[in-house]
Amino acid sequence: MPVRLLAYEEDFPSRLTKSAPYNSSSGSKNQTNNRIAHGQKTKTTIPDPPKYFVRRNHLNRLIEEMLEKFKNVLILGRSGTGKTSLATDFCRTHQTNTLWINLTFSDKRLSNFLNHFSDESDKLRKKIKSLKKLNNFTRLFEECFLLLAEETRRDQNLIVLDNLHKIYEADWFQDFFRSVVYSISDNLQFIMLSRSNPPLPTWRFRSKQMLGVIDERTLLFTQKEAIELLTTCKFDMKIGLQLYEQSNGKIGRFSKLIESRLGDT
């Protein structure tokens, strides 16, 4: 039985959206399709979007273009810049099978990290377990991606690695990152979210047209976008623009400020 990378089927109808409250006890179709078949829920569920957010179509198109060209995108920005909400919206609105991995510091341990890519009940887990014996990290990750591609060869699959910076100190990280960039698997794509640059010269990959990067300047939330959101929320424009100035162009920060003023109404 191959690793099951399940598509999220919901398609939001508009650019400006107030998301429905999340109900963890719900047995809804969205919740089911949002889960991957293995691991803990916190590591395998596509996050819910902020309660108030703006669909950033130009950034969604940029991600789509980069994935088509490079098969990988690195999104860089400090906390509150909207990395996760952007990737969440992209995954929810594009018909691609998605494996979302929310990395923790414990994933610096190679066995923990590799466990995200396999299902406890399938042959892929056994194969990946056997790869852990390899001393060559580059070969290990190349083989891992080839196995994933083979097991899911009928589908186009997207792997999202959130909080990539939490595994930078792993002794195998640079080999992993290079394997992502050099991956020859046509049906595997990667979105990596991080608060800082990886500890290797990513500019070389960019100059060779091998890596797509969206940085904090590109993520900057504009005043025009803020006005659109304030209008949709029927929020006081003067107060809203003052909150926008406080957010320093960080969409996550701005969204939380608006939500705190509007409450649950």
Residue 177: name the closest of 185, 186, 168 by CA: 168
List average pLDDT for each run of 10 residues in the chain, which is 265 residues long.
34 36 33 34 66 87 96 95 94 85 95 78 65 74 80 77 97 94 86 96 92 95 93 92 94 89 69
Number of domains in the chain: 2
Alpha helices in 34-136 (DSSP H): 41-44, 57-70, 83-93, 110-115, 123-131
- 88 and 126: one domain? yes
Residues 139 and 254 in one domain: no
pLDDT of residue 198: 96
Rounded to a whole number of angstroms, the distance between the first and last alpha carbons of the chain is 45
What domain range is 239 assigned to? 223-262
pLDDT at 262: 83
* In a shared domain, residues 93 and 182: yes
Tokens representing 110?
């190679």
pLDDT of residue 191: 97
pLDDT score, position 186: 80
Give every CB contact of residue 37 below 8 A, 6+ residues apart in sequence: 3, 4, 6, 119
Order of all β-strands in the sheet with 157-162:
97-102, 157-162, 188-194, 72-76, 212-214
Half-sphere exposure of 240 (CA within 13 A, CB side): 21
34/105 same-domain check: yes
User: Do 230 and 210 fall into the same domain?
Assistant: no
